[in-house]
Amino acid sequence: MNRTLDQLVKGIIPESEVPAVPIHGITTHSARVNPGHLYIAIHGTNLDGHDFIPQAIDNGAAAIITNGRDVGQLPVPQIKVSNPRRAASFTAAEYYGHPSKEMTVVGITGTNGKTTTASLVSAMLKAAGEKVAQIGTLGTVAEGYPQDKTLTTPDPIALHKVLFDLRQDGFTHIVMEASSHAIDQSRVADVDFNYTVFTNLSPEHLDYHGTMADYFQAKLKLFTALSPAATAIVNIETEYGQAISDNCTVPVVATALAKAGDVFFKDYQIFLTGIHGTIQAGEIAYPVDSSLIGKFNLENILCATATGNAMGLTQEAIKNGLKKCTSIPGRMESFALRSGATALIDYAHTPDAYDKVLSTIKDMVVEPGLLHIVFGCGGDRDKTKRAQMAASAERFGYYCYVTPDNPRTEELTEITADIVSGFCANEYAVFDERGTGLRQALDRATENDVVVVLGKGREDYQEINGKKIPYSDLEIINEYRDAR
């Protein structure tokens, strides 16, 4: 890439004040600085990038962007801005030539359902013959690209780099998840979204946002900074969806299970084998024949269909996309066990998701089968939801197996105490090692029982004291699977 410093920061500060220093890369990590890089110092949760400016310069940084803090006289140009995170997004988009402008980009946000909705929209686009990439919790899902999992929404430099690469490789459509952290931290501020989708909102990430009002405001930003040509698809079933619809700055397509929405279910039936019905969008009726299960997936299917309809996809492409998207990795994945029981893994990690997932699974249990629930709560995250998740598990389950999830830097005993406070009865056991708890649940399960394992989905690690330790629920479940 051939860019100069004055080109990259135009629009942030007057070009006349910036030298035309050649820039050969951008990074916010001092250890990753190579000669000719622009280093952007960001004040993070645990570390302050300004403290690492000397290392960045030693590594060859050609220029530095700071928040204006006094860092002394530097041997390279220093650009002072009020918001280095915003500057990182702006300069990354400039450096890579605003790749999102040349593609059709769908951004999906909400507490639950982002990955499933994104997967459904991607399947519809593929059925329409488009070259599509999906970016989110599952990593970058694109033909020819390694599916490395990082953050739900990558940092802006990594994001614009992958968008640039995808554009160079002929991808025309991007479907990406936009987390509240990413929106608040300006990671997607310079992505040109053509369509944005709101699924739902329930208590989550309050350790970061503080209040539901602030959490909502973070989500709302995605719908108030769109170009006039964009379209928003909004689930208006709740007050939050209605508020987003009311405050959105572009045309809104409202979805609702009932006729209150622009796109709605004319009829539907939910079976253990999937969801069937008809979605009405204006004069067009879309038949639904999906193998996804659970009432909560009605919302995801509805949002995805409304998005496909807004994009002008054919009835056939939408129908086939819904049918071909047979399962979402780590979302209500089912496995038959040798014992005659069934194991299910799901990424659910909020009280609302627990209620939706467990109520669906409870209805699936064939009498006299029992529901065993293996779960834990992440450390260094919202503590208020832990007791609520335990209460939900107890309400729907026969027996609960409380295990570590990703303790991170928090003491496991403190996490467990918060969880246990939500139980009313004594139908649970506590384990210091997740695999031990999961194996006990699988050992105890007999014919018609269901073992549901919540929280980690297909993650292949546990985060403990700053380290990612190899661990997989799926690998353990595979030891018990029916080989037929």
Q: Can you give the CATH number for the domain in which 196 is found? A: 3.40.1190.10
Specify the pLDDT at position 15.
66
**In this predicted model, what pLDDT tens digit does every residue of 8-19 receive, in sequence order?**
998 888 767 799
Residue that finishes a domain, picked among 60, 85, 110? 85
270 falls in which pLDDT band (50, 70, 90)?
Answer: confident
**In this predicted model, what pLDDT tens digit does every residue of 100-128 receive, in sequence order?**
999 999 999 999 999 999 999 999 999 99
Q: Is residue 103 in some structural domain? A: yes
301 by Cβ neighbours in 10 Å (0-12 / 13-18 / 19+) ranks as: buried
Reduced to 3 states (helix: H, G, I; strand: E, B; else coil), residue 404 is coil
DSSP 452: E
Which structural domain, as residue segments, surrounds residue 34?
3-85
Do 28 and 165 sit in the same domain of this protein? no
pLDDT at residue 269 is higher than 90: yes
What tokens does 135 get? 């970016």
Q: What is the 3-state secondary structure (H, E, C) of 277-346?
A: EEEEECCEEEEEEECCCCCHHHHHHHHHHHHHHHCCCCHHHHHHHHHHCCCECCECEEEEECCCCEEEEE
The mean pLDDT value of the chain amounts to 94
Q: Is residue 92 in some structural domain? A: no
Do 60 and 103 sit in the same domain of this protein? no
pLDDT at residue 44 is higher than 90: no
Do 420 and 440 sit in the same domain of this protein? yes
**In this predicted model, what pLDDT tens digit does every residue of 156-190 receive, in sequence order?**
999 999 999 999 999 999 999 999 999 999 999 99
Specify the pLDDT at position 114.
94
Please measure the distance between the N-terminal and C-terminal CA atoms of the chain and give it in whole angstroms: 53
Specify the pLDDT at position 151.
64
Q: Is residue 94 in some structural domain? A: no
Closest CA to 345 of 455, 235, 251, 442: 455
Do 380 and 435 sit in the same domain of this protein? yes
445 falls in which pLDDT band (50, 70, 90)?
Answer: very high
Q: Is residue 384 in some structural domain? A: yes
Q: What is the arithmetic mean of pLDDT over 74-97?
A: 96
Do 71 and 7 sit in the same domain of this protein? yes
Do 226 and 349 sit in the same domain of this protein? no
Split into its structural domains, the chain has a count of 3
Q: Please, are residues 142 and 133 in contact by the beta-carbon 8 Å criterion?
A: yes
Long-range contacts of 141-144 (CB under 8 A, 24+ apart): 142/166, 142/171, 144/169
* Cβ partners under 8 Å of residue 240, min gap 6: 198, 200, 201, 216, 219
Q: What is the arithmetic mean of pLDDT over 301-318?
A: 98
Specify the pLDDT at position 210.
85
Q: What percentage of the chain has pLDDT greater than the value 90?
A: 83
DSSP 398: S
430 falls in which pLDDT band (50, 70, 90)?
Answer: very high
CATH of the domain at 79: 3.40.1390.10
pLDDT at residue 146 is higher than 90: no
Do 348 and 249 sit in the same domain of this protein? no
Q: Distance between CA 251 and CA 255 in Å, rounded?
A: 13
Q: Which residues on adjacent β-strands are paired with residue 256?
A: 264
Do 31 and 147 sit in the same domain of this protein? no
CATH of the domain at 355: 3.90.190.20
Do 34 and 174 sit in the same domain of this protein? no
Residue 70 has a CB neighbour count (10 Å cut-off) of 6
Q: What is the arithmetic mean of pLDDT over 380-397?
A: 96
pTM, rounded to two decimals:
0.86
Residue that finishes a domain, picked among 289, 324, 359? 324
pLDDT at residue 131 is higher than 90: yes
Q: Helix axis angle, 296-310 relative to 351-364, nearest 10°? A: 110
* Angle, alpha carbons 133-138-144 (nearest 5°): 45
Q: What is the arithmetic mean of pLDDT over 1-26?
A: 88
Q: Is residue 93 in some structural domain? A: no
Q: What is the arithmetic mean of pLDDT over 80-94?
A: 95
418 falls in which pLDDT band (50, 70, 90)?
Answer: very high
149 falls in which pLDDT band (50, 70, 90)?
Answer: low
Do 121 and 222 sit in the same domain of this protein? yes
Which string of DSSP letters, residue by residue, matches 140-178? EE-TTS------SS--HHHHHHHHHHHHHTT--EEEEE-
Do 172 and 28 sit in the same domain of this protein? no
pLDDT at residue 388 is higher than 80: yes
Q: What is the arithmetic mean of pLDDT over 64-77?
A: 93
Residue that finishes a domain, picked among 324, 347, 364? 324
pLDDT at residue 341 is higher than 80: yes
Do 292 and 155 sit in the same domain of this protein? yes
40: phi then psi, degrees, rounded to nearest 5: -110, 120
What tokens does 185 get? 């931290």
Q: Is residue 420 in some structural domain? A: yes
Q: Is residue 24 in some structural domain? A: yes
Q: Is residue 452 in some structural domain? A: yes
